[in-house]
Amino acid sequence: MEHAVPPQYKRAMITELGHFALILAFLVAIVQTVVPLIGAANRWNGWMVFAEPAAITQFILTAFSFGALVWAFMASDFSLRIVVENSHSAKPMLYKISGTWGNHEGSMLLWVLIVTIFGAMAAVFGGGLPPTLKARVLSVQAAIAVAFFAFILFTSNPFDRLPVPPFDGRDLNPLLQDPGLAFHPPFLYLGYVGLSMAFSFAVAALIEGRVDAAWGRWVRPWTLAAWIFLTIGIALGSWWAYYELGWGGFWFWDPVENASFMPWLLAAALLHSAIVVEKREALKSWTILLAIIAFGFSLIGTFIVRSGLLTSVHAFANDPERGVFILFILVIFIGGALTLFAARAQAMEAKGVFGMVSRESALILNNILLAVSCFVVFFGTLWPMVAEMAFDRKLSVGAPFFNAAFTPFMIALGIVLPVGAMLPWKRGRLGRAAWSLRYAFVLAVALAILVWVMQTGRSALGPVGLFLGAWITFGAIVDLWSRTGRKGNLARLFRLPGADWGKAVAHTGLGVTMFAIAGLTAWEVEDIRVAQPGQPFEVGQFTLTLQDVRRVQGPNYFSTMADVIVEKNGRQITTLHPEKRDYPVARMPTTEAAIDYRFLRDLYVVIGDQQADGGWVMRTYIKPLANWIWGGCILMALGGVLSLSDRRFRVAAGARKTPTSGVPAE
């Protein structure tokens, strides 16, 4: 009888094992927090090296637990509460899997999984780290994991069972059933949690009482990786909003978006200040502070969004258990780290000296602009809550405020960036850097004037954006060129270190994105009408004809799909199929815009309701440079990857490894 176990019991076993592994990982993390820390304080080698196998074990256990949850979603195990609430047996497999993190409990498990991945990576690849620093970094990383494990196990357990499993699930929100959004949270979390490594390094360095150039070199790759992931995650989310929400908006200054944007801004600042630590052994205490605050914003971002605090003050009160836990974690980690910082920061004496005009001072300006712009976003995001609680004013802070208050910082950043990037370390001359950029400047101004003349009488936003984008891009080219020596040796261009290329490509990406946002905002064309089938109408240079509207059945939805023929200069260039979908299980309709993606512009068509006269509401947009927004983001991420691939990171790690491995630790 024993060998004939019915499949549903096996399934139950795996889920239980996943739950059990999660509890075990929690316990391992507790031990990993305590033992290496004591070991490092007393220079007990055995206690310190314990951190490495512990970090790896913790990762394997968490990965198993997460795998079990994914499996429960894949197999549609409706005895689990979150599977019932977020899945359905008819849902496509990709969205069954992505449904794992499309809910509070599952996304928290994903978060802690990434914490353990980073911890395990530091354990495996951190061979060059001094043993005490490594032990302390892993201990702090484990402490973060402990907090999250506790949060999951005590308030948001994904392995919660239902006493009576229903026959089928309630389906995932159809808006989230989308490839762009399936991968948006994992990337965002990789970014948020990547900053936990910078945090762990910062706290470990404070405990250690020592920050040197090598520390800067160790922190930078983690920060860079976090920033790359955040860039991709934010871009994916923005792209998703563009094509899914039905009118092509790509950024709303929503609290949830701001929550991911603030860590991005601070990670960008941290990247740059860590360069100063690495190259010049200055800005040490500021960099440590920035690392702490950047992760603080990650915590605020994830948790406050999760608790609903920013959506509404009342949602917070509805779920006090999670909310209080969140505050507790924030206070312990950020408060603790800042206290430690206050006590120890004095010890970080700066070594490098530099003049008023130098690369160092330019990077300080970069940090000021990025940090203050982040502060503006933070203040604006929290203001409705503050105003309601403190002044009893119920008000909104939306996109128009942020556009007005935030944009000047980015314009200032764009203007000073190329000059700052050209300045030499230690001491430079402003006039000299500016002079070497004269062609870039003239070309950028000429382009902007040309466009200004061509567009006749429309807002200055487009030309200004073009100037900034061209200025940054040409500046990056001049910067690269100047590194090839006086003769301009092209072959040398390709032998430049990855970091130089990374800098140029990432800065160009920023320029492209700035230009694209300005261009799209300034030059968009919109057409709203009731279209009669078979009657062509014109939008810009395009002639559109609503050919037919059909009913189509999808895997878990019904669709009303239109065939729209698009012609330009009398020639058909494409047929678009905008849809309205109805998801019967989730009882939710969605619009699926049809987009003709082109290099210079997108044609964006949305179908609405049928009117009494038989016509259909149709919305047509010509969106210039839409692709460039995300193209710029991809360039920024690519720049990050190029910089990460710089040999010098590895050489430094390797060079350090050889002597330390020969020396006994005691």
Partner 1 sequence: MKRLIMILLLIASPVVAVQPDEVLDDPALEARAREISTGLRCLVCRNESIDESNAELARDLRILLRERLVAGDTDQEAVEFIVDRYGEYVLLKPTTTGTNLMLWLAGPIMLLIAAGMGWSFLRKRSQHQQAAHTDALTEEEQERLRQILKD
C-beta of 529: minimal distance to partner 1 in Å?
5
Stretch that binds partner 1, among 60-68, 92-100, 289-297, 383-391 (CB under 8 A): 383-391
383 lies in the binding site for partner 1 (CB under 8 A): yes
Return the number of the residue (521 or 574) whose C-beta is nearest partner 1.
521
- The nearer residue to partner 1, 8 or 318, going by C-beta atoms, is 318
**Minimal CA–CA distance to 46: which of 170, 112, 131, 168?**
131
Residue 175 as a binder of partner 1 (CB under 8 A): the answer is yes
| Distance, CA of 561 to chain centre | 34
Site for partner 1 contains 663 (CB under 8 A): no
How far apart are alpha carbons 87 and 72 in whole angstroms? 10
Interface pick for partner 1 out of 97, 368, 434, 641 (rule CB under 8 A): 368
Of 97-136, binders to partner 1 (CB under 8 A) are 103-104
Least Å distance between CB 114 and partner 1? Answer: 20
Which of 4, 93, 404, 453: binder of partner 1 (CB under 8 A)?
A: 404
- Is residue 242 a contact residue for partner 1 (CB under 8 A)? no
Kindly tell me which residue out of 347, 399, 454, 552 binds partner 1, with binding defined by CB under 8 A.
399
Residues 422-481 that bind partner 1 (CB under 8 A): 427
Q: Please list, in sequence order, all residues whose beta carbon lies within 8 angstroms of the beta carbon of residue 180, skipping any fewer than 6 positions away.
A: 236, 237, 239, 240, 243, 244
In the complex with partner 1, the residue whose CB is nearer, 14 or 372, is 372
Backbone angle region of 466, left / alpha / beta, with phi > 0 → left and psi within -120 to 50 → alpha: alpha
Q: Does 649 bind partner 1 (CB under 8 A)?
A: no
Least Å from the CB of residue 26 to partner 1: 24
Structure tokens at 416: 């000073």
| CB-based contact 290:266 (threshold 8 Å) | yes
Q: Are 203 and 144 in contact (CB under 8 A)?
A: no
- Residue 364 interacting with partner 1 (CB under 8 A): yes
Among 45, 89, 157, 311, binds partner 1 (CB under 8 A): 311
Work out the burial of residue 494: count CB atoms within 10 Å of its CB; fewer than 13 is exposed, 13-18 middle, 19 or more buried: exposed
Residue 647 half-sphere exposure toward CB, CA atoms < 13 A:
3
Count the helix, strand and coil residues of the chain and give each as a percent rounded to the nearest 5: 65, 10, 20
SS3 of residue 365 by DSSP: helix
Residue choice 155, 173, 482, 574 for contact with partner 1 (CB under 8 A): 173
DSSP letter for each residue of 147-214: HHHHHHHHH--TTPBPSS--SS-----GGG-SHHHHSHHHHHHHHHHHHHHHHHHHHHHHHHT---HH
Query: Which C-beta is closer to partner 1: that of 32 or that of 358?
Result: 358
Q: Is the Cβ–Cβ distance between 325 and 261 less than 8 Å? A: no
The verdict on 13 binding partner 1 (CB under 8 A) reads no
Contact between 164 and partner 1 by CB under 8 A: the answer reads: no
- Give the integer Cα–Cα distance in Å for 390 and 395: 12
Q: Does 599 bind partner 1 (CB under 8 A)?
A: no
Tell me the residue type at 240: W
Window 500-519: residues binding partner 1 (CB under 8 A): none
Give the residue, chosen from 4, 9, 164, 396, that forms a contact with partner 1 under the rule CB under 8 A: 396
- Binder of partner 1 out of 606, 636, 652, 653 (CB under 8 A): 606
Query: Rounded to an integer, what distance in angstroms lies between the CA atom of residue 290 and that of residue 199?
Result: 9
Q: Is 346 in the site for partner 1 (CB under 8 A)?
A: no
Report the SS3 class of residue 600. coil
**Residues lying near partner 1 in the complex (CB under 8 A):** 85-86, 103-104, 173, 175, 245-247, 249, 252-255, 282, 308, 311, 315, 350, 353-356, 360-361, 364-365, 368, 371-373, 375-376, 379-380, 383, 387, 390-391, 393-401, 404-405, 409, 427, 528-530, 580, 586, 588-591, 606, 608-609, 617, 619
